[in-house]
Amino acid sequence: MSTVNRPGHNGIRGLTHLDAAGHARMVDVGDKKVTARIAVARGRVLMNPATLVTLLAGGTPKGDVLAAARIAGIMAAKRTAELIPLCHQLALDAVELHFASTEPQALEIEARVRVTGRTGAEMEALTAVAVAGLTVYDMCKALDRGMVLDSVRLAAKSGGQTGEYRREGEIEWHNQM
């Protein structure tokens, strides 16, 4: 076995999902310590202000958009390993989705994912936000085909070898739905 395939080695140029020859591989996390980990991802759906008012009032033709988006995000987090080829299958401890409207044309989405394991849940949180946003689009497209899923990003994480991370400029949410 080459040194690049040993657990904990950073692969080619620090990319853990590539071996020395540049081939894709699933990272071996078997020797990593089991720790509590949290990942928080955020994104937003930009839309016409009238669409957001209708969505928040529950007046969309397809029903309760936020309830459907919340369930879709949770389901997506649970199935991330089926969508992202080199992700590990995780036994998630919790997945929460929250929504906020801080601007007249934007629905903000936040996913918080908790896991106790050998690898983090960043991809699960990001996937939850993306799929929740796509669900909002699907349920509101009859009102506004110009919506944009925007700024999907990791906002914060804790646990694991790399410890704490908080994206600069991210604030705690207080008035979420």
User: Catalytic: 64?
Assistant: no
Instruction: Give backbone dihedrals phi and psi of 82, rounded to 5 degrees, phi first.
Output: -80, -20
Residue in 28, 93, 138, 144 annotated catalytic: 138
Please name the residues in contact with 97: beta carbons below 8 A apart, sequence gap of 6 or more.
Answer: 69, 70, 73, 74, 109, 110, 111, 112, 128, 129, 132
Instruction: Give backbone dihedrals phi and psi of 5, rounded to 5 degrees, phi first.
Output: -95, 0
What is the distance of C-alpha 106 from the center of its chain? 18
The Cβ of residue 74 has, within 10 Å, a number of other Cβ atoms equal to 20
- Active-site positions read 138
